[in-house]
Every structure is written in C-alpha cells, then in structure tokens.
Amino acid sequence: QQQVKQSPQSLIVQKGGISIINCAYENTAFDYFPWYQQFPGKGPALLIAIRPDVSEKKEGRFTISFNKSAKQFSLHIMDSQPGDSATYFCAASMMAAGNKLTFGGGTRVLVKP
Amino acid sequence: NAGVTQTPKFRVLKTGQSMTLLCAQDMNHEYMYWYRQDPGMGLRLIHYSVGEGTTAKGEVPDGYNVSRLKKQNFLLGLESAAPSQTSVYFCASSSQASQPQHFGDGTRLSIL
C-alpha cells in the first residue's frame, strides 16, 4: 500500500516555464511534508518543506501548496531552468515517530533550453 | 565538511554472500536512517536509529540487520544476499526528529 502517491512520473518543460508536481497522502497523522531534489549519482537533498498548519510556503522559485482537507500537496517550480533538471521526490512523516520519511515514487523533470 | 559518507560506492555480490555497508556522519547527529531506492518506488526505509546503541525496523527490514555501536556510524548488513536486494542504498542523518535529514551519495549494490 503506497501511502504517498506522486504524479506525474516524468515532466518536460521549456526554460522559463512552470513545473508542477503533485502528491497525495493517506495517513492523516503525517505532520511534515518535505520535497527532495536528486541529481544522478547523488543523494537526495532537501529543497523545501511544509507543516500542515500552513497552506503555502515559498522559497525563491520553489513553492509548496498544501491542501489538508484533500490530503494533497504540490511543488511548483517557477521560471524553470536547465539546472533544475533532476528527479524530485515528495515525502511525508510523523515528527513524533522518529521522522521516518515515506517517499513518493519520484518525478523526473527535464527543462529544455 | 564531509557530512554523510557511505562506503563502498559500488559493489557486486554473488547470491548468498554477506557484506556490510558503512555510513559515517561527522555532524554529531542523533538520528540515522537506511533507505533503499528502486526505480519508480522512491526510497523506502529499511532500519533507523534514534541514538547510539538503538535500532528499529522500518518499512522493509527483512533480510537486513543494523548496528549503531558508535554515534557517528550506522552499519547495514546483508547476511545472505539475494537478487531482490539489488538496489541503491542511502544513509541519512538528522540532529533530531524535527530537523531535516541529510543524505549520503549512496551505495550501488548488484547481486548476481
């Protein structure tokens, strides 16, 4: 049973465009929702994270939108650049239970120049 | 500033062989985690530790054992490797549960 479902699996966007990745979760006890960026041959690196008491968080060109009632959250990459080409993972966890991350399946993003 | 270091980076094993993957962190973090990454499935938690001398099972613990004898090291062992354990293994650490996890660059393991 996949507790965090991520879509799409892959995404191609033109330079300057907007990349949107969506995730849905099932466990209402989750209270921490991070997004990770991974380049080939490297480990995931934290990009941005949100708690359920906030509906939106923005850091530079990256924005998380969170809908608690729908149990969904999404990552928006504004003004996408070729350097943003990577695999993105959403995740969810319960802080009080050791912050064990449950990951989505990943989205491979390709930004064309 | 090394962060989280995993050794080895690559390894090929034959079915039935055993090996140990080492994770070392120099950030004095309490929490450490082992994940495996398979195509289309994201990362899945194998085992984790909330402090020196403690270990606990994650989502997919079968076939693996771990030890945390020193705070800075977290070892993942495969007693009898199986082809289903072919994967990329990532170690992560965090200072406490409310802090982000920092990942190493992974160990690519192939079992023939």
Q: What is the pLDDT of residues A66-78, one digit of tens each?
A: 999 999 999 999 9
Distances (CA, A) of A37 to A18, A29, A60, A88, B84: 16, 24, 15, 5, 26
- In angstroms, the CA A28 to CA A70 distance is 10
- Domains recognised in chain B with CATH numbers: 4-82 (2.60.40.10)
Q: Any CB–CB contact under 8 A between B50 and chain A?
A: yes
Count of residues making up chain A? 113
Confidence of residue A47 (pLDDT cuts 50, 70, 90): very high
Q: Encode A35-70 in three state secondary structure.
A: EEEECCCCCCEEEEEECCCCCEEEECCEEEEEECCC
Distances (CA, A) of B20 to B2, B7, B25, B102: 21, 9, 16, 21
Q: CB distance A105–B48 less than 8 Å?
A: no
Structurally, chain A folds into a number of domains equal to: 1
- In angstroms, the CA A66 to CA A57 distance is 9
> Which residues, 6+ apart, have CB-to-CB distance to B39 below 8 Å?
none
Identify whether the C-beta of residue B79 lies closer than 8 Å to the C-beta of residue B55.
Answer: no
* Chain B neighbors of A4, CB-CB under 8 A: 42
Phi, psi angles (nearest 5°) of residue B84: -70, -10
Q: CB distance A99–B42 less than 8 Å?
A: no
Residue A72: which domain range?
4-112
pLDDT on residue B1: 60
Identify whether the C-beta of residue A100 lies closer than 8 Å to the C-beta of residue B58.
Answer: yes
pLDDT on residue B5: 97
pLDDT on residue B96: 85
Residue of chain B with shortest Cα separation from A48: B100
Q: CB distance A46–B101 less than 8 Å?
A: yes
CA distance B35 to chain A (A): 9
Element (H, E) at A26: none
- In this predicted structure, the answer to whether residue B2 has a pLDDT above a threshold of 80 is no
- In angstroms, the CA B17 to CA B78 distance is 8
Identify whether the C-beta of residue A75 lies closer than 8 Å to the C-beta of residue A87.
Answer: no
CATH of the domain at A47: 2.60.40.10
- In angstroms, the CA A69 to CA B85 distance is 38
Confidence of residue A1 (pLDDT cuts 50, 70, 90): low
* Chain A neighbors of B102, CB-CB under 8 A: 46
- In this predicted structure, the answer to whether residue B107 has a pLDDT above a threshold of 60 is yes
